[in-house]
């Protein structure tokens, strides 16, 4: 798979005239504001695997029809397995579960956006509005956990798309997955930017008491205006801090993920986010530098042009200084933290703040020795 951001510089102006041309060009591609209100992306380009590319334009005859707004739709996806496995050397887990494909939170920087191309859809507005739920995932998980050769290790949920995005209120796939894991005494770590995680404290608290669960709350900014623009349908920063406090008070180990760190946009908030999270009850912390793989790069650059045109060149220049002169470097060991002087400075600031606040003094290791294979409905019983 090639990283398109390595070669695409259509929205990478280097001077004032080029910036003006880029703004005009981007406007020609953008979806009308009334159709995308409350969404993160301003574009909806064709998926990279599609044989044809379509683009609306005004031919001067004023015959364009008013198209309806992008509304959230949910289709059922029927996967063959619930657990996704990986062997990436720079992440701490080897298995994960994604209850949903696509994410209504609409975070403009989401590195999972390109996965919608595999469904024949756009990484832009389609990723936020055309979602897929996996209601069979709990039953599939139960069967996989019951297999004779299964060896329990921590399952990560929320590392791709958020399991507590708004449609979880109706579909409750995440809730059912937690019920399966709780019944089997299986360890789980959850990453989310939604206060809806508080709904499941009744499941998570007894699991945490046994050393089977912890939660990482992703906080990108404490600026409500920036959060509203950058992650329009995620919980507000204050609600995420409230969730950290509620989870911590319930005895659940909570960490904060300052992710992503965007230079010249939110990197000045690192210390403040850690201070606020520690005060709310967080005991662990981590950070991830902004990642712009494949289609994410033009989507983010368009968003930056629309919302912070005065910072565009500075932000992109700093990003490239940490990515070997490119929008993104996918090399293991560098993709999460970047490289170069500015990346080094971000890392040291984070480490100093975490040390001052006594975060990460100990990292709770989840237990796997309590695991009991399920024997529920749909699980094949042993012959002997």
Q: Of 126, 175, 111, whose CA–CA distance to 330 is shortest? A: 111
pLDDT at 57: 61
Per the domain annotation, does 239 fall within a domain? yes
Per the domain annotation, does 246 fall within a domain? yes
Confidence of residue 378 (pLDDT cuts 50, 70, 90): low
The answer, yes or no, to whether the previous bond of 118 is cis (omega within 30 of 0) is no
Confidence of residue 5 (pLDDT cuts 50, 70, 90): very low
Q: Of 195, 194, 188, whose CA–CA distance to 214 is shortest? A: 188
Quote the Cα angle for 229-235-236, to 5°: 65
Range with lowest mean pLDDT among 20-29, 291-300, 305-314? 20-29
pLDDT at 2: 37
pLDDT at position 170 over 90: yes
pLDDT at 56: 62
SS (HEC) of the chain: CCCHHHCCCCCCCCCHHHHHHHHHHHHHHCCCHHHHCCCCCCCCCCCCCCCCCCCCCCCCCCCCCCCCCCCCEEEECCCCCCEEECCCCCCCCCEEECCEECCCCCCCCCCCHHHHHHHCCCCCHHHHHEEEECCCHHHHHHHHHHCCCCCCCCEEECCCCCCCCCCHHHHCHHHHHHHHHHHCCCCEEEEECCHHHHHHHHHHHHHHHCCCEEEEEECCCCCHHHHHHHCCCCCCHHHHHHHHHHHHHCCCEEEEEEEEECCCCCHHHHHHHHHHHHHHCCCEEEEEECCCCCCHHHHHHHHHHHHCHHHHHHHHHHHHHCCCCCCCCCCCCCCCCCCCHHHHHHHHHHHHHHHHCCCCCCCCCCCCCCCCCCCCCCCCCCCC
What gap in Å lies between CA 361 and CA 345, rounded to an integer? 21
Count of domains observed in the chain: 1
pLDDT at 65: 64
Q: For 244-289, how does the pLDDT look when each residue is reduced to its tens digit (9 = 90+)?
A: 999 999 999 999 999 999 999 999 999 999 999 999 999 999 999 9
pLDDT at position 62 over 70: no
> Whole-model pTM?
0.88
Per the domain annotation, does 28 fall within a domain? yes
Per the domain annotation, does 264 fall within a domain? yes
Confidence of residue 28 (pLDDT cuts 50, 70, 90): very low
Q: How far is CA 280 from CA 42, 77, 210, 243, 275, in A?
A: 34, 37, 23, 9, 9
Per the domain annotation, does 90 fall within a domain? yes
Per the domain annotation, does 384 fall within a domain? no
pLDDT at position 36 over 60: yes
Q: Which residues pair with 218 in a beta bridge?
A: 257
Per the domain annotation, does 374 fall within a domain? no
Q: Which residues pair with 256 in a beta bridge?
A: 217, 285
pLDDT at 8: 39
Per the domain annotation, does 311 fall within a domain? yes
Compute the average pLDDT of residues 218-222: 98
Q: Which residues pair with 216 in a beta bridge?
A: 191, 255
The domain that holds 337 is classified in CATH as 3.80.30.30
For the ranges 18-22, 67-71, 357-361, the one whose mean pLDDT is highest: 357-361
Q: For 191-212, how does the pLDDT look when each residue is reduced to its tens digit (9 = 90+)?
A: 999 999 999 999 999 999 999 9
Tokens linked to 314: 């500075």
How do 100-101 and 130-133 pair as beta strands? antiparallel
Q: For 78-134, how does the pLDDT look when each residue is reduced to its tens digit (9 = 90+)?
A: 999 999 999 998 898 999 999 999 999 999 999 999 999 999 999 999 999 999 999
Quote the Cα angle for 25-28-29, to 5°: 95
In which domain, by residue range, is 162 found? 10-47+69-356
What gap in Å lies between CA 219 and CA 242, rounded to an integer? 12
């Amino acid at each position: 798979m090639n990283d398109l951001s390595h070669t695409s510089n259509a929205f990478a102006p280097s001077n004032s005239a080029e910036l003006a041309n880029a703004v005009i060009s981007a406007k020609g591609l953008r979806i009308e504001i009334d159709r995308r209100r409350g969404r993160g992306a301003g574009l909806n380009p064709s998926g990279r695997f599609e044989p044809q590319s379509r683009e609306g334009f005004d031919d001067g005859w004023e015959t364009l029809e008013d198209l309806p707004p992008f509304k959230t739709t949910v289709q059922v996806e029927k996967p063959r397995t619930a657990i996704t496995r990986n062997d990436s050397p720079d992440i701490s887990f080897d298995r994960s579960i994604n209850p949903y494909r696509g994410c209504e939170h609409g975070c403009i920087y989401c590195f999972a956006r390109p996965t919608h191309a595999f469904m024949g859809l756009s990484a832009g507005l389609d990723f936020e509005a055309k979602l897929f739920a996996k209601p069979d995932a709990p039953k599939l998980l139960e069967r996989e956990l019951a297999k004779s050769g299964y060896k329990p290790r921590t399952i990560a949920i929320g590392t791709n798309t958020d399991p507590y995005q708004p449609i979880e209120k109706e579909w409750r796939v995440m809730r059912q997955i937690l019920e399966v894991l709780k019944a089997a005494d299986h360890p789980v770590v959850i990453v989310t930017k939604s206060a809806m995680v508080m709904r499941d404290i009744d499941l998570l608290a007894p699991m945490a008491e046994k050393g089977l669960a912890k939660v990482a709350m992703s906080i990108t900014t404490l600026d409500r205006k920036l959060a509203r623009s950058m992650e329009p349908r995620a919980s507000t920063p204050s609600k995420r801090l409230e969730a950290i406090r509620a989870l911590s008070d319930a005895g659940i180990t909570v960490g904060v993920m300052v992710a992503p760190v965007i230079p010249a946009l939110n990197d000045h908030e690192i210390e403040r986010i850690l201070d606020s999270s520690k005060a709310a009850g967080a005991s662990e912390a981590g950070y991830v530098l902004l990642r712009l793989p494949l289609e994410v790069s033009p989507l983010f650059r368009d968003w930056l042009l629309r919302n912070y045109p005065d910072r565009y060149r500075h932000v992109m220049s700093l990003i490239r200084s940490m990515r070997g002169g490119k929008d993104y470097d996918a090399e293991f060991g560098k993709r999460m933290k970047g490289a170069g002087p500015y990346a080094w400075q971000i890392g040291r600031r984070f480490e100093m703040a975490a040390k001052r606040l006594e975060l990460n003094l100990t990292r709770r290791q989840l237990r796997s020795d309590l695991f009991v294979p399920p024997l529920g409905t749909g699980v094949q019983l042993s012959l002997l």
